[in-house]
Amino acid sequence: MTYVSRPPGADGAPVLDPPIPSTPAHPARHAEPGRGRSKPHQDRAGYLFLLPWFIGMLFTVIPFFASLYLAFTDYNLLNAPKWIGLDNFAEMLRDPLLHQSLKVTFVYTFVSVPLSLVAALGVAMLLNRGVRGLPVYRAIFYLPSLLGGSVAVVLLWRYIFGLDGVVNGFLGWFGIEGPGWTSDPGYSLTTLIVLHVWTFGSPMVIFLAGLRQIPVIYYEAAAIDGASPWRRFCSITLPLLSPIIFFNLIQSLISSFQTFTQGYVMSGGPANSTLFYNLYLYQRGFSQFDMGYASAMAWMLLVIIAAFTAINFLAAKYWVFYDN
Which positions from 163 through 202 interact with another protein, judged by CB under 8 A? 164-166, 169-170, 198, 202
Q: Does 282 bind another protein (CB under 8 A)?
A: yes
- CB atoms under 10 Å from CB of 308, counted, come to 16
Helix, strand, or coil here: 83?
Answer: strand
To the nearest whole angstrom, how small is the minimum distance from the Cβ of residue 6 to another protein? Answer: 18
Q: Say which amino acid occupies 196.
A: H
Candidates 171, 174, 149, 175; CA nearest to 162 is 171
| CB nearer to another protein: pick between 189 and 244 | 244
Q: Which of 179, 309, 312, 316 is the binder for another protein (CB under 8 A)?
A: 309
Q: What is the dihedral of CA 288, 60, 255, 139, to 10 degrees?
A: 120
| CB nearer to another protein: pick between 8 and 83 | 83
Q: Which of 47, 110, 313, 319 is the binder for another protein (CB under 8 A)?
A: 47
Q: Where are the alpha helices (DSSP H) in 129-200?
A: 134-147, 151-160, 166-173, 188-198
To the nearest whole angstrom, how small is the minimum distance from the Cβ of residue 147 to another protein? Answer: 6
Question: Degrees (nearest 5) of the Cα angle 109, 114, 118?
Answer: 150
For 73, the enclosing helix (H) or strand (E) is strand 73-74
235-264: contacts with another protein (CB under 8 A) = 244, 247-248, 254, 257-258, 260-261, 264
Choices 8-16, 53-61, 95-103, 312-320 (CB under 8 A): range interacting with another protein: 53-61
Helix, strand, or coil here: 123?
Answer: helix
Q: Does 234 bind another protein (CB under 8 A)?
A: no
To the nearest whole angstrom, how small is the minimum distance from the Cβ of residue 213 to another protein? Answer: 7
To the nearest whole angstrom, how small is the minimum distance from the Cβ of residue 289 to another protein? Answer: 10
Q: Does 28 bind another protein (CB under 8 A)?
A: no
Q: Does 131 bind another protein (CB under 8 A)?
A: yes
To the nearest whole angstrom, how small is the minimum distance from the Cβ of residue 9 to another protein? Answer: 26
To the nearest whole angstrom, how small is the minimum distance from the Cβ of residue 139 to another protein? Answer: 6
Helix, strand, or coil here: 180?
Answer: coil
To the nearest whole angstrom, how small is the minimum distance from the Cβ of residue 151 to another protein? Answer: 4
Q: Which of 24, 39, 94, 322 is the binder for another protein (CB under 8 A)?
A: 39
Q: Which of 98, 101, 124, 141 is the binder for another protein (CB under 8 A)?
A: 141
Q: Does 209 bind another protein (CB under 8 A)?
A: yes
Q: How many helices (H) and strands (E) does the chain have?
A: 16, 2
Q: Does 32 bind another protein (CB under 8 A)?
A: no
Candidates 202, 302, 192; CA nearest to 247 is 202
Distances (CA, A) of 69 to 60, 173, 301: 15, 58, 16
88-127: contacts with another protein (CB under 8 A) = 123, 126-127
Q: Does 291 bind another protein (CB under 8 A)?
A: yes
Q: How many CA atoms are closer than 13 Å to the CA of 144, on its beta-carbon side?
A: 18
d(CA 209, CA 213): 7
| Site residue total, another protein (CB under 8 A) | 101
R_g over Cα of the chain: 29
Choices 11-19, 97-105, 153-161, 174-182 (CB under 8 A): range interacting with another protein: 153-161
Chain length of the chain: 324
